[in-house]
Chains A and B, each alone.
Chain A
Amino acid sequence: MKRFLPYIAVAFFASVPLWLQDQYFLHTLVVSGIFMLAAMSLNLLLGYTGQLSLGHVAFFGIGAYVSALTSLGFSVSIFGFQITHEPWPPVVGVILGTLVAGICGYLIGKLAFRVRGAYFVIVSISFAEVVRLVALNWVELTNGPLALPGIPPLTIGFEWTGYATLWGKAQNYYVVLVAIIIAYVIIKRLVYSPFGRAMIALRENETLAMSVGISVTKYLVLAAIFAGAMAGTAGGLYAHYIQIIDPMVFMFLNTVTMVIMVITGGKGTLAGPLVGGLIFGLAPVVLRSYVGPELQWILYGLLMILIVFVLPDGIVPAIERWFGRSSGNADDQRPLTLETSKAPQS
């Protein structure tokens, strides 16, 4: 049963645009999906390497800006050199956004992982703030607070096939769905491999991990590259879907949204950010139809508190435990483990 769950979920979500009439709801799903993608990438850092990155929105924003600027074109002068870029297709933008965000992940990983714990939390916040302030003040490139409007929607195709523009919600929905599936598979293969084990080891006990030969920088940086790149993809998709970005994409609340999705869903689990993402992506929509503005927020906050109170490890581990118990091999002491020994019969 459990083995088929992902396939059932994919089949279900693939069918949604076929029967869902409400376009606004579909829009919400697309935006939530983009944030889920970002949350999955954050989970790699937060859940698997144990690094609490509160500046994750920086990668998201960088991906969004790079992608937008690639497809819009720009002209800046740096130290007297005029650099002009002609617009490229949006898909190239998303790919470049992913790459650049990945490279930023590498650089930040190299620099920021000199510090740990609470110190890392602050360095990551500071990093995002600095990036935001650059986006705000480098008006020539980013248009600063005046925003970059008119970002073209994604197009698919090649020069010789002609391009199909993804105006519709359903098309964007499938793009996001595919991106999530790819990210899921990448993360799954990564964390169930020796690479992922090394990351988990660093999370659990860094000194001990080093003593068995695990390089701290190598694996933290590896995680940061993947996390940065995936967040960059999410940012790129966001830019082309919303079609406008301004430095407010870097706002702290966006990071907080991702963190909420990861932790309530269950950090360090594959499905956690998806479940958390679905809940906290849709919660505002549901709340909006029933209560006034401030109360919406208050209920949103209370919902978070409630989930953490009732299910301290997050929703997914709780469900797993519940499944485990009902099938008779319960063990509520180990939400964090990857696998059991399955001893070879020798």
Chain B
Amino acid sequence: MNAETTSRQPILAIEHVAVHFGGLIAISDMNFHVGEGELVSLIGPNGAGKTTAFNVITGFLKPTKGRVTFRGTSLNGLKPHEVTSLGLVRTFQRTSVFDKITVFENVLIGLHRRTAASLFGTLMSLPKERNAEAALREQAWEILKLVGIDHQADELGGSLPYGDQRLLGVALALAADPSALLLDEPVSGMNASETARFVSLLNKLRAKGKTILLVEHDMPMVMGVSDRIVVLNYGRIIANGTPSEIQNDPEVIQAYLGQGVKHA
């Protein structure tokens, strides 16, 4: 296994995390770092524990053992919204948008962290609150454009086609103003061309200095965008290295990649 191949400042550290569900061990020992501005992919067979790892990092699950730190702060015991407020935001593997609300309002809700309204001011309807509201709408609009679903702003979230719902999910996460973004299979259900467009969105985000941790089964994409790849199998890390190192790791090929890696 490779040593940490990053020279960047590690901001997210997963330290010897284990997760058990009753007798079932979903993660046995997970230990890796993500550096500032880095794009790290977490891959592995189905049921390896990737989503579980996301759940632990973002406070939806308490680890049985170990801890997670973000910019030096321990995340143990924090609630999901507290983790988010530190700038660590995730998307979900299963499509997750506010179904019965318009796309635009979805993003407005996502902007929750950026609102400056006070309860008193709101009830008194002070000018400051009204201006803040106008500013939010502006921001919502920008995010929709960035993700490329602005033409659907007035559609209901739930009536978007599957792929666009996934984009909306990303827009929601971006609205929460993350400095580090955790994406759980963002391009599943997208075809190659849609994926390519998503990759260019990823690149824009990287250019803005966002740190990204990506879970994805689309190997061409993962190999193309990742700075580094961590491979998980049965809750253990079996490899950690650059895309080319991973691509040729026999254990990874055996457990995960199979023979036809070079599709497309």
Contact = CB atoms under 8 A, between A and B. Distances in A.
In their complex, do chains A and B touch, with some C-beta pair under 8 Å? Answer: yes
Nearest to A193: B122
Given A195-B117, A213-B81, A336-B100, 5 more contacts: A193-B117, A204-B98, A207-B80, A213-B85, A333-B156
15 contacts: A195-B122, A197-B112, A200-B109, A201-B109, A207-B92, A210-B60, A210-B79, A210-B81, A211-B172, A212-B109, A212-B173, A213-B112, A215-B82, A336-B100, A338-B105
Given A204-B98, A213-B112, A340-B104, A189 B176 contact: no
Given A201-B109, A205-B98, A212 B141 contact: no
Interface in B122-180: 122-123, 125, 129, 133, 136-138, 140-141, 153-154, 156, 159, 172-173, 175-176
Given A189-B123, A340-B104, A212 B89 contact: yes
User: Contact residue range for chain A?
Assistant: 35 or more
B71 interface: no
B69 interface: no
Contacts of A207: 60, 80, 92, 96
Given A186-B123, A190-B122, A195-B119, A210 B80 contact: yes
Nearest to B157: A204
A215 B79 contact: yes
Which 5 pairs show the lowest CB-CB distances between chains A and B? Answer: A213-B84, A341-B104, A194-B115, A210-B80, A193-B122
Greatest chain B CB density within 10 A among A195, A212, A214, A344 is at: A212
A135 to B, nearest CB: 32
A289 interface: no
Nearest to B142: A346
B58 interface: yes
Interface string B11-33: 00000000000000000000000
Nearest to A334: B156
B80 A343 contact: no
B222 interface: no
A238 B178 CA distance: 50
B129 A213 contact: no
Nearest to A218: B81
A343 B145 CA distance: 12
Interface string A107-147: 00000000000000000000000000000000000000000
A195 B108 CA distance: 12
B94 to A, nearest CB: 10
Contacts of B237: none
Contacts of A341: 102, 104, 137, 140-141, 153-154
A104 interface: no
Given A193-B133, A213-B84, A344-B138, A208 B176 contact: no
A159 B222 CA distance: 77
Nearest to A343: B141
A337 interface: yes
A200 B101 CA distance: 9
A108 B12 CA distance: 37
Contacts of A210: 60, 79-81, 84
Contacts of A334: 100, 102, 156
A3 interface: no
A48 to B, nearest CB: 13
Given A194-B117, A338-B105, A344-B138, A211 B156 contact: no
B97 A208 contact: yes
B67 interface: no
